[in-house]
Structure 1
Amino acid sequence: MSAYFIVMVSMDETVDRAPYDSYIDRVKPIVESFGGEYLVRTEVIDSPLPGDRPDRMIIIRFPNRKKLDECFASEEYRRIMALRTETVRAKAFIAEGL
Structure 2
Amino acid sequence: MTAYAIAHMREVSMGPEIVEYLERIDETLAPYDGRFVVHGGTVTPVEGEWPGTVIIIQFPDREHVEAWYASEAYQAILPLRTENSASDVIVVDGVDETHRATDVLHAAG
Q: What is the alpha-carbon root mean square deviation over aligned residues?
A: 1.6
Q: Secondary structure at the match of 1:7?
A: strand
In structure 1, the residue matched to 2:75 is 78
In structure 1, the residue matched to 2:104 is none
CA apart distance, 1:82: 0.7
Q: Which has the larger radius of gyration?
A: 2
Q: How many residue pairs are counted as aligned between the two chains?
A: 95
Percentage of matched positions with identical amino acids = 25
Give 5+ residue unaligned stretches, structure 1. Answer: none
CA apart distance, 1:43: 4.6
In structure 2, the residue matched to 1:11 is 11
Distance 1:21 1:43 in 2: 18
CA apart distance, 1:51: 2.1
In structure 1, the residue matched to 2:31 is 33
TM-score by structure 2 length? Answer: 0.77
Give 5+ residue unaligned stretches, structure 2. Answer: 97-109
Distance 1:41 1:48 in 2: 19
TM-score by structure 1 length? Answer: 0.85
Deviations 1:71-95 (A, max 9, x none): 0101111111110010001111221
CA apart distance, 1:16: 5.2
Distance 1:89 1:62 in 2: 24
Higher relative contact order (CA 8 A, sep 6+): 1
Structure with more of its chain in strand, by fraction? 1
